[in-house]
Structure 1
Amino acid sequence: MFQQLPSLNAIKAFESAARLNSFKDAANELNVTPTAISHQIRALEDSLKVRLFERKTRAVTLTTEGKLLAASANQSLQDLLSTVSQLKGSSSTLTISTTSSFAAMWLVPNLADFQQQYPGIDIQIRAEETLIDMEHDRRVDMAIRYGEPPKQREIKALTHQPLVQESLGFFATPEYWEKHRKNLSDVVFFCTQWKNPNLPNLGLEETIKSIVVDSRPNIRYFDDENLTAQAALSGQGIAIISQLAVENSIKNGWLTQGTDKMSKSITGLHYYLVIPKRVQTSQAAIHFKEWLQLTLAKVSP
């Protein structure tokens, strides 16, 4: 019945190269040489008597026939992998991409709760600032991003699940608040300037100036929220930072929120979950999504 099907290795090589648009990247993913990938795909084309790729000097693109086979190969291999994992009784693994600050300051400190509830699901975290091509890069299963979720119709292959809208506040050590409670003229403020230029300005400088009216405020910047928090934790000043980011520090009494004018909260942007179509029915992915929603709801303003 299946005698006419090509070898599984050839299908795997083709699917990887088609998804990544690169023989070299496919070789890295499958831990073989680019030459081996090229030979597998050439043999597949010869057996099918069709050209699957248009080969250019520094790039490869799928032909019409290649696109047809790529869609079928991806879905078939995904189904096969899911079934094999169930039969082996092996634990599910989810690779989550998110920013280094969110990973270090919220996700990792809270992850033990998820692992206790779902010991059979292994969570791997990729802390990175660059955006992942979630439609094609199967090395990442889900991504937690910051900003404004795109409209669903814009990317049909991806689901964007809003998680929480952050609230920023003024946080410092109890000792720093005590030292400067009567005089704000020599206070240092720390803010985060995001690396992503497309994120909107939250008007933090204007908020600070509305509080420190008698002098020019001393504002310093970091491009990583983790560094902003560390500056406050070391007693150097007041961080204007997400409540999510300092949740653990507040629980431990290391940082406290200001009073009076410094008690005001600033509405920030959203954290949202990006889920590729290939994992939307995965029980592991569903459990992780539900856990994120419930856990973040507990710290929502």
Structure 2
Amino acid sequence: MFQNLPNLNAIRVFEAAARLNSFKDAADELNVTPTAISHQIRSLEDKLQTRLFERKTRSVSLTNEGKLLASSANESLRSLLSTINQLTVTPNTLTISTTNSFAAMWLVPNLEGFQQQHPNIKILIRAEESLIDIEHDSRVDMVIRYGKPPTGNLGVIPLIEDKIGFFATPEYWKKHTKTPSGSVFFSTKWKNTNLPNLGIEGHLKNTINTQELPELRYFDDENQTVQATLSGQGIGILSKLSVGMPLDNAWLTQGSNEMSKVFSGLYYYLVIPTRQQANSTALLFKAWLCNTLPKDQL
């Protein structure tokens, strides 16, 4: 019935090259040489008697026939992987991709709770700001993202709505509570330019009821914003989720009076690719996240 199908490894090689649009990147993903990739694809083209790629001096691009096969190959391999994941022994390693801030300020400090419940599961964390194609990048099992969760996708699970408030060291509050307009404020300018503007400057002006914006310094990483606030240099405009440990230890406190105001941010949400949605290890991690994240931040 399937005797006319090409070798499965050739299809796998072709799918990687088509998805990454590069023989070299496909070779890196599959841990082989670019020459081996080129040879496999040439053999596949000979078997099918059709050209799948247009070769250029420094790049390749799919032909119309290649695009047709790439779509079918990707869908078939994802379906096969999903079934294999259901049939085989539950993997004991999960690779999670998330932002630097969420990894450093919440996930790593709380991960020991998951490890105590599931000591045989190893969690690998990739902290990065760039978005990855989770459906096609098999090196990552799940991602935790910040922004507006897309609708209509069963693999997207909203986790928690972010709440933004004003935080500083107790010593800084003692000196500046009566004159917040004379304070230095810190905030974060996101590297991901696709995130909507939260209107930090407008919120700050409305909170302290002033026409002129107080001194507001931006960092491009929330970890830096937290550290500047912890050092007692000013008031951090921060997510309460990102300052959970400093608050628990009273290194930082939320402001009083007008400085006690909060405003909504975006969401942290989990994305589970199709190939992992029946994976019991992934489901255990999902359940732990949903149960551990605070339900009401402020």
TM-score bracket relative to the smaller structure = 0.7 to 0.9
Q: 2:53 matched to 1:54?
A: yes
Return the alpha-carbon distance in structure 2 between the equivalents of residues 50 and 297 of structure 1: 58
Determine if contact 1:244/1:299 at 8 Å carries over to the other structure: no
Summarize the Cα distance change of 1:36–1:138 in structure 2 as closer, same or farther, 3 Å threshold.
Answer: same
What secondary structure is seen at the aligned counterpart in 2 of 1:272? strand
Q: 2:256 matched to 1:259?
A: yes
**Which residue of the partner structure matches residue 240 of structure 1?**
237
Note the C-alpha offset of 1:239: 0.3
1:112-158 deviation per Cα after TM superposition (whole angstroms, max 9, x unaligned): 11111122222111111111112211112211111111222xxx6x7
Summarize the Cα distance change of 1:50–1:97 in structure 2 as closer, same or farther, 3 Å threshold.
Answer: farther
Determine if contact 2:204/2:213 at 8 Å carries over to the other structure: no
Note the C-alpha offset of 1:83: 4.4
Note the C-alpha offset of 1:298: 4.1
Note the C-alpha offset of 1:209: 2.0
Return the alpha-carbon distance in structure 1 between the equivalents of residues 284 and 257 of structure 2: 41
Note the C-alpha offset of 1:184: 2.8
**Which residue of the partner structure matches residue 36 of structure 1?**
36
Q: 2:171 matched to 1:172?
A: no
Q: 2:128 matched to 1:128?
A: yes
Q: 2:93 matched to 1:93?
A: yes
Unaligned runs of at least 5 residues, structure 1: none
| Aligned alpha-carbon RMSD (Å) | 2.5
Unaligned runs of at least 5 residues, structure 2: none
Note the C-alpha offset of 1:231: 0.6
Return the alpha-carbon distance in structure 2 between the equivalents of residues 196 and 12 of structure 1: 32
Return the alpha-carbon distance in structure 2 between the equivalents of residues 227 and 76 of structure 1: 43
**Which residue of the partner structure matches residue 104 of structure 1?**
104
Summarize the Cα distance change of 1:117–1:208 in structure 2 as closer, same or farther, 3 Å threshold.
Answer: same
Summarize the Cα distance change of 1:63–1:195 in structure 2 as closer, same or farther, 3 Å threshold.
Answer: closer
TM-score normalized with structure 1 length: 0.87
Return the alpha-carbon distance in structure 2 between the equivalents of residues 220 and 234 of structure 1: 14
Pairs aligned (count): 292
TM-score normalized with structure 2 length: 0.88
**Where do residues 56-205 of structure 1 align in structure 2 (5 Å cutoff)?**
56-57=55-56, 58-61=59-62, 62-80=66-84, 83=87, 86=89, 91-152=91-152, 159-205=155-201
**Where do residues 203-218 of structure 1 align in structure 2 (5 Å cutoff)?**
203-213=199-209, 216-218=213-215
